[in-house]
A and B are shown apart, each in its own frame.
Chain A
Amino acid sequence: MRKLTSRKIAAKVLHWIVLIVFTVLLAFPFYWMVITTFKQNSDLYDLTSNPFIFNAKPTLEHLKFLFQQTMYVRWLGNTALVGIIVVAATLLLSIPAAYALTRLTGRWGQRLGVLIFLTYLIPPTLLFIPLSRVISILGLQDTIWSLVVVYPSFTVPFSIWLLMGFFKSIPRELEDAAMVDGLTRFGAFLKMVVPISTSGILTVVIFSFTLVTQEFVYALTFISPERNQMVGVGIPIFLIRGDVYYWGSLMAACLIASLPIAFLYNLFLDRFIAGFTVGAVKG
Chain B
Amino acid sequence: MAVVQTRNLTKVFKQGEQGAVNNVNLEGREGEFLVFLGPSGSGKTTLLRMIAGLETPTDGEILIGGRVVNDLSPRERRIAMVFQSYALYPHLTVYKNIVFPLKAQKVPRNTHKEKVEWAASLLGINHLLQRKPRELSGGERQRVALARAIVREPSVFLLDEPLSNLDAKLRASAREELERFHRRIGTTTIYVTHDQVEAMAMGDRVVVLHKGYVRQIGTPTEVYDDPADTFVATFLGSPPMNLIEDTDVIVGFRPEHFRVSEAITDTHKVPLKFHVENIEYLGADWILSGILMGGRFDGKKAVSRLLFGHEFEIGKTYDFAVPERRLKFFDRSTEKKVEARALAWQ
Q: Chain A interface (Cβ within 8 Å of chain B)?
A: 2, 5
- Nearest Cβ distance between residue B267 and chain A, in whole angstroms? 60
Binary CB contact string for chain B from 76 to 105 against chain A (1 if under 8 A, 0 otherwise):
000000000000000000000000000000
Inside 8 A of A2's CB, which chain B residues have their CB?
A: 56, 70-71
Q: In the complex, A5 Cα to B71 Cα: how many Å?
A: 8
Instruction: Supply 4 A–B pairs (Cβ within 8 Å), ascending by A.
Output: A2-B56, A2-B70, A2-B71, A5-B71
Q: In the complex, A2 Cα to B53 Cα: how many Å?
A: 14
Inside 8 A of B71's CB, which chain A residues have their CB?
A: 2, 5
Inside 8 A of A5's CB, which chain B residues have their CB?
A: 71
Q: Which of B108-147 contact A (CB under 8 A)?
A: none
Binary CB contact string for chain B from 44 to 71 against chain A (1 if under 8 A, 0 otherwise):
0000000000001000000000000011
CB nearest neighbor in A for B57 = A2
Q: Label chain A's interface by main secondary structure.
A: loop
Inside 8 A of B70's CB, which chain A residues have their CB?
A: 2
Q: In the complex, A2 Cα to B68 Cα: how many Å?
A: 13
Interface size of B by CB at 8 A reads 3
Q: In the complex, A5 Cα to B70 Cα: how many Å?
A: 12
CB nearest neighbor in A for B59 = A1
4 closest Cβ pairs, A-B complex = A2-B70, A2-B71, A2-B56, A5-B71
Contact count A vs B, C-beta below 8 Å = 4
- Nearest Cβ distance between residue B63 and chain A, in whole angstroms? 15
Q: Label chain B's interface by main secondary structure.
A: loop
Q: Chain B interface (Cβ within 8 Å of chain A)?
A: 56, 70-71
- Nearest Cβ distance between residue B19 and chain A, in whole angstroms? 15
Q: In the complex, A5 Cα to B56 Cα: how many Å?
A: 13
CB nearest neighbor in B for A5 = B71
- Nearest Cβ distance between residue A262 and chain B, in whole angstroms? 33
Inside 8 A of B56's CB, which chain A residues have their CB?
A: 2
Q: In the complex, A5 Cα to B72 Cα: how many Å?
A: 10
CB nearest neighbor in A for B56 = A2
- Nearest Cβ distance between residue A45 and chain B, in whole angstroms? 56
Q: In the complex, A2 Cα to B58 Cα: how many Å?
A: 9
- Nearest Cβ distance between residue A12 and chain B, in whole angstroms? 15
- Nearest Cβ distance between residue B62 and chain A, in whole angstroms? 12
- Nearest Cβ distance between residue A11 and chain B, in whole angstroms? 12
- Nearest Cβ distance between residue A5 and chain B, in whole angstroms? 7
Q: In the complex, A2 Cα to B71 Cα: how many Å?
A: 8
Q: In the complex, A32 Cα to B71 Cα: how many Å?
A: 46
- Nearest Cβ distance between residue A2 and chain B, in whole angstroms? 6
- Nearest Cβ distance between residue B110 and chain A, in whole angstroms? 32
- Nearest Cβ distance between residue B90 and chain A, in whole angstroms? 12
- Nearest Cβ distance between residue B140 and chain A, in whole angstroms? 24
Q: In the complex, A2 Cα to B70 Cα: how many Å?
A: 9
Q: In the complex, A2 Cα to B62 Cα: how many Å?
A: 13
- Nearest Cβ distance between residue B76 and chain A, in whole angstroms? 12
Q: In the complex, A55 Cα to B321 Cα: how many Å?
A: 98
Q: In the complex, A5 Cα to B73 Cα: how many Å?
A: 11
CB nearest neighbor in A for B70 = A2
- Nearest Cβ distance between residue B135 and chain A, in whole angstroms? 18
- Nearest Cβ distance between residue B137 and chain A, in whole angstroms? 22
Q: In the complex, A270 Cα to B18 Cα: how many Å?
A: 31
Q: In the complex, A216 Cα to B56 Cα: how many Å?
A: 53
